[in-house]
Amino acid sequence: MGIKVSEFGKTSKGKIAHIYTLVNGKGMALEVTDYGATMVSILAPDAKGRSKDVLLGYDDVQDYEQGTCYFGAIIGRNGNRTKDAQVVIDGHVYQMEKNEGENNLHSGSEGYSNIIWDASVDEDGNSVSFHHVGADGEQGLPGTFDITVTYTLTMENEVKIHYEGTSDKDTIANMTNHGYYNLAGHAAGKIEDHILWLDADAFTPVGQGMIPTGEILPVEGTPMDFRAAKSIGADIEADYEQLKIAGGYDHNYVLNNSNGTLRKIAEVTEPESGRRMEVFSDAVGVQFYAGNFVESIPKGKEGVVYQKRSGLCLETQGFPDATHHETFPSTVLRAGAKYETTTIYYFSAVK
């Protein structure tokens, strides 16, 4: 195990970004940058031991600045979409930036995907931690929010993401990582042949602006059902209202057994290479996004122009727009309480 640190270019404001490379000697490597605490690449072996980069991304920090897909970035304080860009805490309304029509997406232009974090490397050489102290009023939200995100590459070919933070006032805390995966390789094209399993009996349907309606609907008998593993493309063009609204899958799934414990919530396999990614999390929800609106301007890594559905996201999270739906689990972090959540992406290969 070991970590290499190198420059990743300068931001448009002249700040130097760095990239951290973790290698485990088992065919895997992870690259992360302090810009957005972003995962830049994941090298994962296939069934024959050949490693490929399975994460969509860019070659330079300025491309990440210009990109609009949040490739690999840490999202926060409040992930996903929020109606009218407003959150409500104990009856008090806080106004966020309207950066997607009348709504807020991923905390706006001042979100955590757009800042340079303070980085530190652990002594064992297998983890990088990124730290940020958000001022009271940051993103329109109350409280000084002290947050650390740690990436670990294990000898078991796991990429662990651990979030830990506190606030001195009641605030909203709902963070995630927005990695786009293509297990055939980041330049391999569409992911519709990937086989997906999700441990979810229900999902939260959306209406106008992709805002949840507040309902929780069973997946039973619908194209949303991935409890029996199937290809992502099997039903993605089905004549089903929710798929038409979102242009494919872009929905929050209500994960089973949500009692705060770390458990397996998803599995993805790419048939040709045999690469498999299992997802473990303590989260209550996961946003499955099939990359319906991906377009890479600027070009992606190695000059690749990413297109529609060339990567899939499994973003572990609290339910989107929970602030407006009392039946959803709360995303309020109380003053002095500890925000803590973990997600693991475990890579292997099926022969």
Give the residue numbers annotated as catalytic, written as ranges. 178, 315
Alpha-carbon span 66 to 81, nearest angstrom: 21
Asked if the bond preceding 298 is cis, omega within 30° of 0, the reply is yes
Alpha-carbon span 60 to 17, nearest angstrom: 9
Alpha-carbon span 324 to 320, nearest angstrom: 9
Q: Which residue has the tokens 């997946």?
A: 219
Give CA torsion, residues 174, 150, 112, 144, to 10 deg.
70
Going by the DSSP 8-state scheme, the letter that residue 207 receives in this structure is: -
Alpha-carbon span 334 to 326, nearest angstrom: 17
Q: 326 Cβ partners below 8 Å, 6+ apart?
A: none
Strands 200-204 and 263-269 turn out to be unpaired
Q: What angle do CA 200, 258, 198 make, to 5 degrees?
A: 20
What does the radius of gyration of the chain's CA atoms come to, in whole angstroms? 19
- Determine phi and psi for 324, rounding to 5 degrees: -105, 5
